[in-house]
Amino acid sequence: MTDAIKYRESMMEVTGYNFKKMAAMVKKEMPFDKAEFLKMAETVHYMSTLTADGFPKGSDELAGPTHAKAEIWSKPEEFKKDIADFQKASEALVVAAKTGDMSAIGPKFKETAGSCKQCHDSFRSKSE
């Protein structure tokens, strides 16, 4: 099961990398590049579709060091709902990114980031 932990950590790392770059564009800390932003939004959305795969039964803290809370497995319907919210929000971000219009992108980016935060607040511990 340590492979599942490595899988989800890698997936989250890819998602976080893309989020940081998109955030920098949204905050105007770096120039907006429509094609690059769209590519990152599509990557985040794709990662959202893989999220559940990274949390099979048996990949909890007994399998090795992890930030995953036991609630992932004890409250699976809530966890699935948060994943579905992330998928829906990230899909809407892709649609907005295709327009290249930052007034459409900004709110969808914030919504997608909020879906990540919601899940992390509920299902991710701060310490190992």
pLDDT in tens, 55-75: 998 888 766 678 899 899 999
Q: Which two tokens stand for residue 78?
A: 């809530």
Q: What pLDDT does 76 receive?
A: 94
Look up the pTM and report it.
0.92
Q: What pLDDT does 62 receive?
A: 65
* CA 5 – CA 10 distance, rounded (Å): 9
CB 125 within 8 A of CB 67: yes
Q: Tell whether 120 is in a known binding site.
A: yes
Q: What pLDDT does 4 receive?
A: 87
Q: What pLDDT does 103 receive?
A: 97
Q: Bigger pLDDT: 50 or 65?
A: 50
Pick the closest to residue 12 from 83, 61, 106 (CA basis).
83
Dihedral sign (CA 63, 66, 68, 69): positive
Q: Tell whether 119 is in a known binding site.
A: yes
CB 111 within 8 A of CB 89: yes
The amino acid that residue 87 corresponds to is Q
Tell me how crowded residue 100 is: count the other CB atoms within 10 A of its CB.
Answer: 14
pLDDT of residue 114 exceeding 60, the answer is yes
Question: pLDDT band for position 1 (50/70/90)?
Answer: low
Q: What pLDDT does 58 receive?
A: 84
* CA 7 – CA 81 distance, rounded (Å): 21
pLDDT of residue 128 exceeding 60, the answer is no
Domains of the chain: residue spans and CATH: 2-55+68-123 (1.20.120.10)
